[in-house]
């Protein structure tokens, strides 16, 4: 299946580099490019986009707000954030906006291609350890919270257990090993968690788990 990709970065040289990498992959098709968030929204209106590679810092409309608006227009699109920093509050805010994951701009070409495929398949948490550090760094800072969502009360004790391990960055296979369950069973639990909490993917589940206090930042 062909994965339709939108490149969003204000630096033309960066887009050219990504284009060269992705053009070499027959199952990836670049359907459009954009130099800022506004152009990205226009591109989504004109094209069907499976994965948007989104820079964070851009003129006119940054990647955070662009992600939020893009997903309102095209909920089926997955957003993969590109950043030069692995610990960055902007990354956290973008995950809250609905991005499916993020990676560093200096990642190896094969890692970029793999990340696009993973996100396109609906598997969101690309770098669990890094994502967890971003969230832990943010939630340590004093900020007003709305408290845990009522939907958490709908989860069974087993589902809460699985959610805590997802938030710690464990894969389905690792969770299965720790809880002595089959991996298929874990996948079913994760699907039920996302459905009950009305979340898009694992990234949003991790964010919610930390923000609600279900999981506390490590010391």
Kindly list the distances between the CA atom of residue 175 and the CA atoms of 15, 197, 214, in Å, as whole numbers in the listed order: 37, 20, 17
Contact 87, 38 (CB under 8 A): no
pTM: 0.73
The residue among 140, 121, 199 whose CA lies nearest residue 166 is: 199
Question: How does pLDDT run across 63-77, given as a tens digit for each residue?
Answer: 999 999 999 999 999
**Residues near 26 by Cβ (< 8 Å), separated by ≥ 6?**
none
Scored b (16 or more CB within 10 A) or e, 106-131 reads eeeeeebbebbebbbeebbbbbbebb
Contact 186, 162 (CB under 8 A): yes
Q: How far apart are the C-alpha atoms of 142 and 138, rounded to whole Å?
A: 9
Structure tokens of 22? Answer: 């992705």
Contact 71, 45 (CB under 8 A): no
First to last CA, the chain: 44
**Helix or strand run (H / E) with residue 11:** none
pLDDT by position in tens, the chain (length 219)? 899 999 999 999 999 999 999 999 999 999 999 999 999 999 999 999 999 999 988 999 999 999 999 999 999 999 998 877 655 567 677 777 888 888 888 888 998 898 898 888 876 654 555 656 666 666 666 554 556 678 889 999 999 999 999 888 788 888 999 999 999 999 999 999 999 998 888 878 888 888 888 887 664
The residue among 107, 62, 98 whose CA lies nearest residue 77 is: 98
Helices in the chain by DSSP H: which ranges? Answer: 12-23, 37-46, 63-73, 89-97, 109-120, 128-139, 157-167, 172-179, 183-197, 202-211
DSSP annotation of 35 reads S
Structure tokens of 125? Answer: 């948490």
């Amino acid at each position: 299946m062909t994965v339709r990709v939108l490149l969003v970065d204000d630096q033309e040289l960066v887009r050219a580099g990504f284009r060269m990498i992705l053009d070499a992959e027959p199952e990836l098709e670049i359907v459009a490019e954009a130099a800022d968030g506004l152009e990205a929204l226009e591109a989504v209106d004109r094209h069907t986009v499976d994965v948007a590679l989104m820079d964070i810092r851009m003129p006119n409309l940054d990647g955070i707000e662009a992600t939020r608006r893009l997903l309102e227009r095209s909920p089926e699109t997955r957003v993969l954030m590109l950043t030069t920093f692995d610990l960055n509050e902007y990354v956290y805010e973008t995950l809250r906006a609905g991005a499916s994951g993020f990676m560093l701009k200096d990642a190896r070409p094969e890692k970029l291609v793999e990340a696009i495929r993973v996100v396109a398949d609906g598997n969101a948490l690309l770098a669990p350890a890094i994502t967890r550090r971003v969230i832990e760094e943010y939630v340590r800072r004093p900020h007003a919270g709305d408290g845990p969502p009522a939907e958490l009360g709908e989860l069974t004790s087993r589902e809460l257990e699985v959610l805590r391990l997802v938030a710690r960055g464990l894969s389905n296979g690792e969770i299965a090993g720790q809880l002595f369950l089959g991996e298929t069973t874990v996948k079913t639990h994760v699907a039920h968690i996302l459905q009950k909490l009305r979340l898009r993917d694992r990234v949003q589940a991790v964010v919610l788990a930390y923000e609600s206090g279900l999981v506390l930042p490590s010391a």
